A and B are shown apart, each in its own frame.
Chain A
Amino acid sequence: MNKAGERMWNGLVKENPTFVMMLGMCPTLAVTTSAINGLGMGLTTTAVLAMSNLLIAMLRNVIPDRVRIPAFIVIIASFVTVLELLLEGYLPSLYTSLGIYIPLIVVNCIILGRAEAYASKHSMLPSFFDGLGMGLGFTVGLTSIGIVREIIGAGQIFGYQLLPLADATKGIQGYTPVSIFILAPGAFFVLAGLTAVQNKVKMNLASKKKETQTVNATASSCESGCGSCNGCTPKFIDDGKEE
């Protein structure tokens, strides 16, 4: 079961499809105008991804190598059709707001990418969890982009009015929505901003890890060296000020 956890972690954080691998940009930019749309798109993709990974891993020894891509597409398209009909039947409002992007899940490069890179080479259970992890990572990415865009662009979160809107005709003071954020350019701003933030967080974590490693390594060898190191820091700051 450790393998399953590792696969989930890999999809959610290490190789997050939205912020690290930059895959599936078309739905990422197009449908994240609100948090609920992002969540719906993400969960739909997750379902398709997990099921198609499972089936492809199951059939990986049966599918001839030469026709594997058409075979994958047929499997993926079948699951997408099933989900499309389910959404139309049970969640008609989400179905209409996602529109053409539901059938387009068939050509989402995350799904074909995981099928080709992972599911066709690994056994069923890890493949299923790989799909689940990647899908949830995609969901987290889309939902967070959707939340930011919805708050800035409409003052709402999941349809709930978070910031009271200004109304000049009635003289009410309040928040004026920056409507560019729910239009196409806003998707690029938010995606770039969130990617920068997660890169920074990851870099900080990585440098901290390195620091503790080096401290552990040097602590045993030089006890006296620490005094001189402390002396360096203030001098460095002084140099910066002079510039």
Chain B
Amino acid sequence: MNDLTKISSNPHTRSKITTGNIMLTVIVALLPATLFGIYNFGISALILILVTIGSAVLSEYFYEKFMKQKSTIHDLSAVVTGLLLALNLPPAAPWWIGVIGGAFAIIVVKMLFGGIGQNFMNPALAARCFLMISFASIMTNFQCDAYSQATPLATLKSGGVVDIFSMVTGKIPGTIGETSMIAIVLGACILILTGVIDLKIPGSYLISFVIFISLFGGRGFDYQFISAHLAGGGLMLGAFFMATDYVTRPITSKGQILYGILLGVLTGLFRLFGGSAEGVSYAIIISNLLVPLIEKITMPKGFGSGGLKHEKNVA
């Protein structure tokens, strides 16, 4: 059609940013952690990652085909979901764990609630928690060919001593993508520099977590203890890649900071007083559920509203 005769309603100026672009940036930002995971745990990790991504994408494709909807797999969001889920799986997990997890994340958590933008909690984390409850022995078994010792957080919980240096570089047991702090921070820098995320949520998350840990950890402001908690487990991956998910985070700045503080407190609570050593995924999905309430109390007032008359109406 001729450009001159093309008539459309506003907005007439469009940004080049699309869902696909953002998702591609997230995938690139996740590459350092992914590659390090494959290097660290070997070829079985690569197979698990590919199977999980394949399951997520195919689930979305066949669900939309079956429901006669327009296919949305080209926006890459299913790839991101599959990749994030795979990075949260232990490297020794069998391949069918990835298949079930990917299908659950996409079909139950995302598509049944209306597809992209409609899910009320992070699909990858919801699937991880589903797998965690269903197959507890497989999901908490971090022993594989490369490692036979307990994860640093489990050692820390039982009062042992951990090596901070290997926790920062990532030569430790854990899930595929969470072990290397350097790789994750490198990816996070890509996201921040490209403007995909800002520091409000990760910043308030990590700061409130450090404060909570030093208040209630029983060791005061112990540098070793706090840095081990920061580098261990899925905290970094969760803070930069999952808590900042556009769909399930609050919209307003005030709300995002409140959400970060909530995440930090919940994570600290689960890690220090909970039954298992790790609590990031539960903290994030519980906070996801509280986002509507956070939005309600941080809703900005429209110009001219407020004052006596407004309060009267509310009351």
Contact = CB atoms under 8 A, between A and B. Distances in A.
Nearest to A176: B135
Contacts of B162: none
Interface in B133-173: 133-136, 138
Interface in A161-189: 176, 178-181, 183, 185, 189
A180 B70 contact: no
B134 A180 contact: yes
A238 interface: no
A21 B302 CA distance: 42
A164 to B, nearest CB: 16
A243 interface: yes
Interface residues of A, number: 10
B290 interface: no
A179 B108 contact: no
Interface extent on B, as a size class? 10 to 19
A141 to B, nearest CB: 21
Nearest to B136: A179
B130 interface: yes
B70 A178 contact: no
Contacts of B135: 176, 178-179
B133 A185 contact: yes
A180 B133 contact: yes
Interface in B113-139: 130, 133-136, 138
A148 to B, nearest CB: 15
A179 B70 contact: no
Interface string B64-100: 0000101000000000000000000000000000001
A180 B100 CA distance: 13
A185 B108 CA distance: 13
A61 B134 CA distance: 54
Interface string A29-66: 00000000000000000000000000000000000000
Contacts of A181: 134
A222 B70 CA distance: 36
Interface of B: 68, 70, 100, 108, 130, 133-136, 138
Those 10 A-B pairs whose CB atoms lie nearest each other, nearest first:
A180-B134, A180-B133, A178-B134, A179-B134, A180-B130, A243-B70, A183-B133, A176-B135, A179-B133, A185-B133
Given A181-B134, A189-B108, A243-B70, 16 more contacts: A176-B135, A176-B138, A178-B100, A178-B134, A178-B135, A179-B133, A179-B134, A179-B135, A179-B136, A180-B130, A180-B133, A180-B134, A183-B133, A185-B130, A185-B133, A240-B68
Interface of A: 176, 178-181, 183, 185, 189, 240, 243
